[in-house]
Structure 1
Amino acid sequence: MIRCSHVAATLFALLVVAISIGQADEPLSLAQLRADREAATQRERRIIFNNDGNEPVYLCRDTTPDELLRHRTSPLVNTHVDTIFYCTWSSGFGMFTHDTKVGNVFKTKEGLFSKNSIEKMLDAGTDPLQVMADFGKKNDIEIFWSFRMNDTHDAGLSGYGPIMLRANPLKLEHPEWLIGTPKNRPKFGGWSAVDFTRPEIRDLAVAYVEEVCQNYDINGIELDFFRHPVFFKRAAQSGTPCNDEERSLMTEMIRRIRKITEVEGQKRGKPILLSVRVPDSVSYCRDCGLDIEQWLQDDLIDLMTVSGYYRLSPWEDSVKLGNKYNVPVYPSLDESRVRDPDAKKMRMTVEAYRGRALAARSAGMAGLNLFNSFDPNAPIWKELGEPATLARQDHDYFASIRGVGAAAGGALPHRSYQKIATLNPKAAVSVASNKPATVSFYNGVEYQKLDSVAPPKITLSLQFDKEAPKNVDVALNGKTLKSSPAADGWLECTVDPGMLKLNENQVTVSLGDKDAAAKWTDLRCTVRWNQDK
């Protein structure tokens, strides 16, 4: 049966939810709340563990809190994880795995979701978000509720897509709130994305956040705009960037959410922080409808995580933006998007994660945010949070971890906004005798300044399609390196530690033979403290 007004039902539900969790005897003054919020904003977050919260859907064998926690959370105690961003499904818009009266609980047990135990868990009194909040208090770990602003996993026309859509009353009852249909798909983005031009959608997004703030004693809210970054029907269908009116609608929604966090924070006597996850380019965000610099300027957000399945800018650009407004910035270190199997395998090692962490922290990042890394027993959780220790461990750098990258479900094309290398076997760089090529990679350690018995062995390796060209010159930051061929089209160059600059290092490849040409397919810089490795 179709409800006459989802928004009316939402407003009614908000009237009957609990007013607050742990209300203070005397509400905080707004001035004191904002002072406390600033202090909370600047606390140390070595690693943020981003959990997409699907344990109840796929993994849990019973309904107990311990069962929920054992899969991804309990082993994080005594690691470098200071904060957990916990997403209660929100895939797609309006579907959750916490006890919501405003949205809908993702209860389906159809197909891939046959083991979904969330309905039984909630009936047994095990609310995943409450369990996480309790865990955080017990172990002095921040808990943020992560809300995917426009997840479109339900846009697929086969597999789990149709199942997820059938489980979503909001999208079934209000197809006019979506940016397309299966037969009339937009130029950019998944057709099942909701249209934030609609006031009903913006009202619901605000209501979802308000309900969580009122009912759960959490430290903050994350608005995840990277899952997935298409928000307005007109722009998605026309293929043109968003306009000022669309950006203004989104900014006003953020302003309302900020107001809610302040009102509820005053009631409970402690701040509720507001974090966003967005692409790492101000201009690209604006064209997607996200005026992030306006949000920062108007003090609407406290933390910012940048990047995702594609990366557009050097980390320093985002750090500079955050520093301008005294907002800590964290890199989203998603898994590799490189499609070549061997190249991807190299980029998913512990050594590669160490190099990524070092490069990000040396660029000024406040800490790290790891997305789609769910093994709580992996060594990275006990290593990546201390750069000084990482510097003396083996690590690898690459010109590009994610390659060209792509947003699941599609998004506004981003290639023209990319200011960093995308070098990998599926995005080769052409080199010719009259056309040298330069690619940058980013180093996170001044090795010559380390107090050590012996310097590390540093090897710069370049891969070419089929075989390494003959009579090739390799220069690092303008200084020629001696190279020797290795297997599978690789060239290897030994690098003196003092040749590496902190942050950006430029590698130039030139061909000496007339009319010579080659495809440069990869770059890897290895740092090994054990000389036998």
Structure 2
Amino acid sequence: MARKNRMIISNDDGWIMGNMTSEVTPETITELMVDTYPGSPIGGVSWCVGNSETYEYETEVGERTGDGYEHFKDERTYWLHKNLYGLIESSGGPLTEITRQFHEAGIDVLPSMRMNSHYDVAYDAPGHGKFRREHREWLIGQPNEYIPRPTLEFAIARGVDYKFPGVRGHLQEVIFELFEKFDVAGVELDYFRHPAFFRVEEAYSNRYLMTDFIRRIRKRMDEVGEQKGKHLDLLVRVPPTLYDSKRIGLDVETWITEGLVDIVAAGGGFMPFEQPIREFVEVAEGTDCLIYGSFEALRWALDEELLYALAARFWDAGVDGFYLFNYFNAPNEWKRRVLGNMVDREKLARLNKRYELDHSDRSGKEYHSGAFRYALPWASLPVFMEETQPGGGSSLTLDIADDVETAKADGGLESCILDLGFDNLNEDDELDVRINGEAVAWTSMERTEDGWGYTAFDGVVYHTTMSERRVEGTVIRFDVTGLPIRKGENELLVRLIKGAGPHFEAVKLTEVRLHINYV
């Protein structure tokens, strides 16, 4: 049975069930979900079925969100529960109807199972789930255990612990139901929502348990696929490195080499410029496993030039496609145009791009943010700058997929602009900046105090409307068109030369952007 290669798979967080405060009908699903996809290169949708072992579809195995409650404290939960049963009555249920409609539109559905949840949900809330209330001894944080806050251990304490057979057995049965009962193309196991499955000190040694869990899922999927006459794809979304995946209990390399998984969405999209995506591609070489580069809209990844830079970097690393998170409600015109440009590799080569460095200061230690922080390696920014001896400074690496030198030679390059964003940089401070060993003339710089911007969802319409946000700071801009910009890794050396004025706070390098503009 041939496996299907979808250029882009887009996750949908189940918002139409969890965020609506009005009736949801099959017509609502058509208008607000399915009709945003035609003409785009998205070939698969992974639809989130729930959180914290409560589910927003017509499950007969798991707990349906809101069951057992006569009154709801918030309007959204009231409508979620009402719409769940309304859709069951009108069309068989949300998952049945969503799968049917996307199938008719030529788009596959892979129900997305969030493998753990570390949200701050009230203990008695419908979204907490009776499974956790009835089996507190199966949670990562044990009953009556004191865990200091804020710490990563505290952030993940309320999640389920997969070392317990009861946890693995329960979730296995819910996952089985998704591909046994429904006419889906496969299943997504989302190990990045949220990436903590064992106690911190036990995660690495318990990785064999999660591999056994995956083997059981794969075996059953193959059996059911044989009965249905089609291959069922197993998609996993995992942390951005093989090392960090294994560190938290996910032996992704074994999953790939043993043929247990069909698609690996590598990384949660939080550090896409510095993620070593090639290591996933290299491990998958010679196997049938597809590697997808991950994009996260809430990482501040909505600017088109940034998306084009990421797409070029992923294609250059050898990925098979892209995985999108939090882009589900982007307008149809945006999906067709921007995503279309991202998969048109010939056109992409000469589109303007903005390469950046990633941040370690965008995830805190509270609940689900702490779970993200737990699974991520450290990134390059921010850098606390202190003056060093000549030749020293902060050495940073920019991974560039564009062939800038060829574009210079054929007249296709307009400019290369380097922006460095700082906090607390005095007027009389200077910088010694070098790219691949060649000095950037300080006298050529332009300084502004306007900060820098990025595009984000503005909340006017959930994950749909976008506007610019600003970050305060000082920007030092250089035109580096005349300097050698290599295809591949480029060394950027930044050394602070303090002026005579006092520094009441540390100088901090908080943003690095390289703009590549074509004629």
TM-score normalised by the chain length of structure 2: 0.81
Q: Are positions 1:128 and 2:86 aligned together? A: no
Q: Which of 378, 382, 387 lines up with 1:432 in the alignment? A: 387
Query: What is the DSSP-based 3-state SS (H/G/I as helix, E as strand, rest coil) of the residue aligned with 2:180?
Result: helix
- SS of the equivalent of 1:370 reads strand
Question: Match for residue 51 of structure 1?
Answer: 12
> Is the 2:23–2:79 Cα contact (8 Å) retained in structure 1?
no
The secondary structure found in structure 1 opposite 2:175 is helix
CA, structure 1 residues 412+81, in 2 after alignment: closer, same or farther (shift >3 Å)?
Answer: closer
Deviation at 1:250, TM superposition (A): 1.2
Which letter maps to 2:491? Q
Q: Note the aligned Cα RMSD (angstroms).
A: 2.9
Count of aligned residue pairs for this structure pair: 465
Residue 395 in structure 1 maps to residue 353 in structure 2: yes
2:201 is equivalent to residue 231 of structure 1: no
Matches within 5 A, 1:87-486: 87-89=48-50, 91-93=51-53, 95-107=54-66, 109-111=72-74, 112-116=76-80, 117-153=83-119, 155-157=120-122, 162-165=124-127, 168-180=129-141, 184=145, 187-232=153-198, 236=199, 239-244=200-205, 246-308=206-268, 310-311=270-271, 313-323=275-285, 325-337=287-299, 348-377=302-331, 378-379=334-335, 380-400=338-358, 403=361, 405=363, 408=368, 410-411=370-371, 414=374, 418=377, 420-421=379-380, 423=381, 427-434=382-389, 435-449=392-406, 454-467=412-425, 470-482=429-441, 483-486=444-447
Report what 1:496 is aligned to.
481
Secondary structure at the counterpart of residue 456 of structure 1: strand
What letter matches 1:104 in structure 2? E
Once the two structures are overlaid, the 10-residue window that deviates more, 141-150 or 358-367, is: 358-367
1:460-503 Cα offsets, whole Å, 9 max, x none, are 11122233664422211222223413202222222338822223
117-126 or 489-498, larger mean C-alpha shift: 489-498
Gap change, CA 1:477 and 1:69, over 3 Å in 2: farther
Measured in 2, the distance between the counterparts of 1:80 and 1:315 equals: 22
Whichever residue aligns with residue 171 of structure 1, its letter is R
1:442–1:503 CA contact under 8 A, matched in 2:
yes
Deviations, residues 202-236 of structure 1 (Å, cap 9, x unaligned): 1122211211111111111111111112212xxx2
Q: 1:520 aligns with which of 480, 501, 509?
A: 509
Go from structure 1 to structure 2 and tell me whether the alpha carbon gap of 1:443 and 1:135 turns closer, same or farther (over 3 Å shift). farther
Q: Do the aligned residues in 1 keep the contact of 2:293 with 2:319 (CA within 8 Å)?
A: yes
Question: In 1, distance between residues paired with 2:481 and 2:142?
Answer: 58
The whole-number CA distance in structure 2 between the counterparts of 1:412 and 1:140 is 33
The letter of the residue matching 2:133 is L
Specify the alignment match of 1:64 in structure 2: 25
Task: Note the residue ranges of structure 2 that are not aligned, 5 or more in a row.
Answer: 148-152, 450-473
Note the C-alpha offset of 1:402. Answer: 6.7
- Preserved CA contact (<8 Å) 1:447 1:498: no
Range moving further from structure 2, 307-316 or 260-269: 307-316
Once the two structures are superposed, residues 413-462 of structure 1 have per-residue CA deviations (whole angstroms, 9 ceiling, x without a partner) of 648x73642x2xxx234242324111122222213445976423221111
Q: Output the amino acid matched with 1:99.
A: E
Separation (CA, whole Å) in 2 of partners of 1:527 and 1:319: 26
After superposing on structure 2, the runs of 4+ consecutive aligned residues of structure 1 that deviate more than 6 Å are 513-517
Deviation of 1:392 after TM superposition, in Å, equals 2.8
Cα shift readout 1:216-264 (whole Å, capped 9, x = no counterpart): 11111111111112212xxx2xx424243x2222111111100111000
Residues 431 and 437 in structure 1, CA contact (< 8 A), matched pair in contact too: no
Structure 1 spans left out of the alignment, 5+ residues: 1-32, 338-343
Q: 1:76 to 1:402 in 2, by over 3 A?
A: farther
Deviations 1:45-92 (A, max 9, x none): 322211011212222743422312322332111112122111112x11
TM-score, normalisation: structure 1: 0.79
Deviation digits for residues 169-224 of structure 1 (CA, Å, limit 9, x no counterpart): 22222222222368636525433311212212111222112111111111111111
* In 2, Cα distance between equivalents of 1:79 and 1:194: 37
- SS state at 2:260 partner: coil
How much does 1:403 deviate? Answer: 4.9
Alignment partners' CA distance in 2, 1:183 and 1:82: 47
